[in-house]
Amino acid sequence: MRNQILKGRLRPGVRLPATRDLASQYDFSRGTIVRAFEELKSEGYIEGSTGSGTYVRRVLPDELLQAKQEAGTWAAPVPKNGRRLSDYGRRATLFSNSDNRPSRTFRANLPAHDLFPMGLWAQIASRRLRRISTSHLLVCDAMGYAPLRGAVADYLTASRGVKCVPEQVAIVAGMQEALDLATRLFVNPGERVCMENPGYPGAANVFNAVGAKVVRISLDEEGMRFDERRLEGARLVYVTPGHQFPLGITMSLPRRLQLLEWARRAGAILFEDDYDSEYRYFGRPVPALQGLDPYGVVLFAGSFSKVLFPSLRLGYIVVPPDLVERFTAIISITRRHAPLLDQTVLCDFLTEGHFGRHLRRMRDVYAERLSILSEEANLRLTGLLEVSDVQAGLQTTGWLCGIDAESAAAAAAKRGVEVTPVDRYSQGRVVPQRLQLGFAAFDEREIRRGVRELAIALEGAR
Amino acid sequence: MRNQILKGRLRPGVRLPATRDLASQYDFSRGTIVRAFEELKSEGYIEGSTGSGTYVRRVLPDELLQAKQEAGTWAAPVPKNGRRLSDYGRRATLFSNSDNRPSRTFRANLPAHDLFPMGLWAQIASRRLRRISTSHLLVCDAMGYAPLRGAVADYLTASRGVKCVPEQVAIVAGMQEALDLATRLFVNPGERVCMENPGYPGAANVFNAVGAKVVRISLDEEGMRFDERRLEGARLVYVTPGHQFPLGITMSLPRRLQLLEWARRAGAILFEDDYDSEYRYFGRPVPALQGLDPYGVVLFAGSFSKVLFPSLRLGYIVVPPDLVERFTAIISITRRHAPLLDQTVLCDFLTEGHFGRHLRRMRDVYAERLSILSEEANLRLTGLLEVSDVQAGLQTTGWLCGIDAESAAAAAAKRGVEVTPVDRYSQGRVVPQRLQLGFAAFDEREIRRGVRELAIALEGAR
């Protein structure tokens, strides 16, 4: 009957058969029919009362009742006057994900997923799930699972020179969420945000969507230039001091100190993206900018996507003590907290030493792969691509010798090799042009083949 | 040496000992010392060259070097000129979580977690983890794991009368994220958002933080009034048509049709929060407002927090076809996607029928608990609290007979019973006053004890 009314077959004002007649017609008890009528009445489909007669409600707008929309189709039209989005809604653009495409040699930002000890992870997860207490089904603190926050604080203090207590650590869904939360808390639409040029596109995406005026600052061999004119008025400055994205430069101590001092004076926030800093193949890791900060101006963020696996969606942000309350509030409003079971498994993985062991193993593997790449490049790419001697991260870059980067990338793609023109991360064009090459996800054979193919492609593109 | 420089013990300009001397002093090879010097130089701590002498870099700002901040303390001070937050940052307030406190009889919004088949969930998770392919370690589509989106679309089509294809379903971290995404996409600061009065505080929290002008609209027995004056100019209207929060009213068909028609004319978005609609103890479930929408003006959202468990942080939002691209963009920027392994486990739980079985079982348990509450309330609370006959959800409300709701709640708390004054969800005061009582998480003994204690408390508060 509900369907008949919605489809317009039973028109508004039509008198319905008596419950007694319906009961005998459909062979139901009269009580059943009366209950169904009560329900339809409570939902506003029909009116009247048993005895005086029941009618299809008169106030139902005709037009709607006859609108036909089939289930299982993409039928709903765009509203005639168009879609009215917010300013944010109009600015947000897709931050696309190359990881879904089949993997090709030298794709950047790709760790060696095939070497992740998934069996071990599965074992820890099973143990956690078997022993789970009801309290772990309930929500946790917005900042995350307390033992995990402690384990992350310990790790960052020991390995990254970060100065923090567990209360300052928020567990988030990776770098994008860390960027989004920080930008929302500190930047109004129209305000200035600075970042490196070239720099991480995921950050630019967040800043542009929020409506920030994104100012790019160029680099030299000490990292981002200290350009006070361009920094002026910036509410937030995004930097990758440990290992610049995409060039791999380590920001020098004087630059770090100048930035900290400037941020204090300007009342600005420095967002330190510590991506991939676990992977340094020569010398000791460079301590974090955050560890030098006596003013509480640095937000330090990292992700477990590259050391563990990206689909886990877990990372962290370390915030100055007086901002803990603000971060708790924004996370509680926007997503309550990160999933708790995943957090408990990660916590065990860290505290039982698996994380450290996996990291050391991968460091050896990646160092070996990088040295194969350097060796092959010396042998076959001289005069075509000068590969830099950066000794960190999952990718390196090379200067093209008079070849256009986009043509080079296109020629390489035709030979099954994926190299990224660094200018894709830049505002404006930088000469000489560079290519980014990921080496971490590819074994010796693939790297040697990749370099051979790249050499042929670059010869052709010259 | 790095520490000595940072602590100001080696002052800028000081000449460092020769590498040869340091090598013999510390019993290292000279090569090791030279590499260490190179590293410090590349980080900008020292300058000069072996041979002509090496110095602590002169440009290091004195002040910073001597600033002392100990690891492991909450030492970082608030910047002297205060913290400069964005408008959003200043408006965001904690959406607090009662679930962390010990559970007390009649707390609302609490399912019976002790009855969740965790063993079964663990088994499915173990199976998934054992068989995981490398592709599940990589990121997935921003809208979620395709088979899960399909399973959710099937479930919503069959059980909730939602009209959608899997492409319209986005997997999100629960209702808060659904609200946050929708608000960001459609509402600018200063614009109007309407919601029910009383209504869900989690929604009000999101709207206020974004800077919306939140307009409350009162209810009658057909649900939210169709108040065109108050609706005027609203960009988004938040409603709970299936089972109003907190009063349990089902929105009548005419109201639904009026709202849809108005939203089409106004170019506004209707946010349908379908919370707890799985739990209806009498009659057939009321189909979703979304299923009546021929205009593409409804966003339909629900969560798995109550049927499964809240710490999972998974829910869904069904969006009109032309908005799929916008939602994909905002999710890709703000968090990439929901964690993939959790999504695969949930997918199996749904498609293998466990979800349906668990739901039917819980429906029986909760129906029984609700009837015990009604029976006990009739017996012991007459003249104190008139419990409503709502037959859905995890909680019900009762009208207080001339007793102040806050005093009643305080008196109940002293006797170990947690009842929530409905006015806490309202703007302004509503007479007669009501209390909200959760019944789902408490067994027969607890409910009977709770009603006895509540009766004593209310007698005292009268």
Whether cis (ω within 30° of 0) applies to the bond prior to B246 is yes
Binding-face residues of B in 408-437 toward A, CB within 8 A = none
Sequence spans of domains, chain A: 2-65, 115-354, 357-461
Interface membership of A229 toward B (CB under 8 Å): no
> What pLDDT score does B449 carry?
97
If you measure CA to CA, which chain A residue comes closest to B32? A283
C-alpha distance from residue A48 to each of A459, B255, B256 (Å): 86, 18, 20
Residues of A in contact with B222 (CB under 8 A): 44
The dotted CATH code for A2-65 is 1.10.10.10
Entry pTM: 0.89
Residues 301-340, chain B, touching A (beta carbon < 8 A):
309-314, 320-323, 325-326, 328-330, 332-340
pLDDT digits (tens, 9 = 90+) for B46-104: 888 656 788 888 766 555 554 444 444 455 556 666 789 999 999 999 998 765 667 78
| A462 neighbors A384 (Cβ within 8 angstroms) | yes
Answer yes or no: is pLDDT of B361 > 90: yes
Mark yes or no for CB contact A312/B339 under 8 Å.
yes
Inspect the interface and report whether the beta carbons of A260 and B309 lie closer than 8 Å: no
Q: Is A357-461 assigned to CATH 3.90.1150.10? A: yes
Q: List Cβ neighbours of A402 (8 Å cut-off, separation of 6 or more).
A: A432, A462
Distance CA B363, CA B360 (A): 5
Distance in angstroms (rounded) separating the CA atoms of residues B333 and A93: 8
Of A134, A188, A256, the CB nearest to B86: A188
| Sheet with A395-400, side-by-side order of all strands | A385-387, A395-400, A434-438, A420-421
Q: Identical fold at A115-354 and A357-461? A: no
Q: How many CB pairs under 8 A join A and B?
A: 387
Q: How far apart are CA A4 and CA A237, in angstroms?
A: 61
Strand order across the beta sheet in which B213-220 lies: B169-172, B315-318, B298-303, B269-273, B234-239, B192-197, B213-220, B223-224
**CB neighbours (10 Å) of residue A130?**
12
ipTM of model: 0.89
Cβ contacts of B64 on chain A, cutoff 8 Å? 257, 260-261, 292, 294
Structure confidence at residue B62 (pLDDT): 52
Is A60's CB within 8 Å of B295's CB? Answer: no
**Of A284, A314, A285, A311, residue with least CA distance to A302:** A314
CA distance B253 to B281: 20
Tokens in use for A122? 């599965």
Q: In a 10 Å sphere around its CB, with 0-12 CB exposed, 13-18 middle and 19+ buried, how is residue A336 labelled?
A: buried
pLDDT (tens place) for every residue of chain A, 462 residues total: 877 787 777 888 888 888 888 888 888 888 888 888 887 887 778 888 656 788 888 766 555 554 444 444 455 556 666 789 999 999 999 998 765 667 789 999 889 988 999 999 999 999 998 888 777 788 789 999 999 999 999 999 999 999 999 999 999 999 999 999 999 999 999 999 999 999 999 999 999 999 999 999 999 999 999 999 999 999 999 999 999 999 999 999 999 999 999 999 999 999 999 999 889 887 777 889 999 999 999 999 999 999 999 899 999 999 999 999 999 999 999 999 999 999 999 999 999 999 999 999 999 999 999 999 999 999 999 999 999 988 889 999 999 999 999 999 999 999 999 999 999 999 988 777 999 999 999 999 999 999 999 999 999 988
Answer whether A42 sits within 8 Å of B250, measured CB to CB.
yes
C-alpha angle B66/B72/B74, rounded to 5°?
Answer: 80
Mean pLDDT of B307-322: 94
* A52-56, B170-174, B288-292, range with the lowest pLDDT: A52-56
Q: How far is CA A75 from CA A61, A82, B182, in A?
A: 21, 16, 21
Distance separating alpha carbons of residues A399 and B186, to the nearest angstrom: 45
* Four-way CATH pick for B115-354: 3.40.640.10, 1.10.340.30, 3.40.50.970, 3.30.110.30: 3.40.640.10
Report the half-sphere exposure of B54 (CA within 13 A, side-chain side). 24
Element (H, E) at A170: strand A169-172
Q: A88-125 burial, b if ≥16 CB within 10 A, otherwise e?
A: bbebbeebebebeeebbbbbbbbbbbebbebeebbbbb
Q: Which residues of B touch A71 (CB under 8 A)?
A: 157, 163-164
Q: Do B45 and A253 count as a contact with CB atoms less than 8 A apart?
A: yes
Q: Please, which residues 145-174 of chain A have a Cβ atom closer than 8 Å to chain B?
A: 157, 163, 165, 167-168, 173-174
8-state DSSP, B14: P
Contact (CB<8Å) A68/B294? yes
- Asked if A233 has any chain B CB less than 8 Å from its own CB, the reply is no
| A-chain residues near B93 (CB < 8 A) | 329, 333
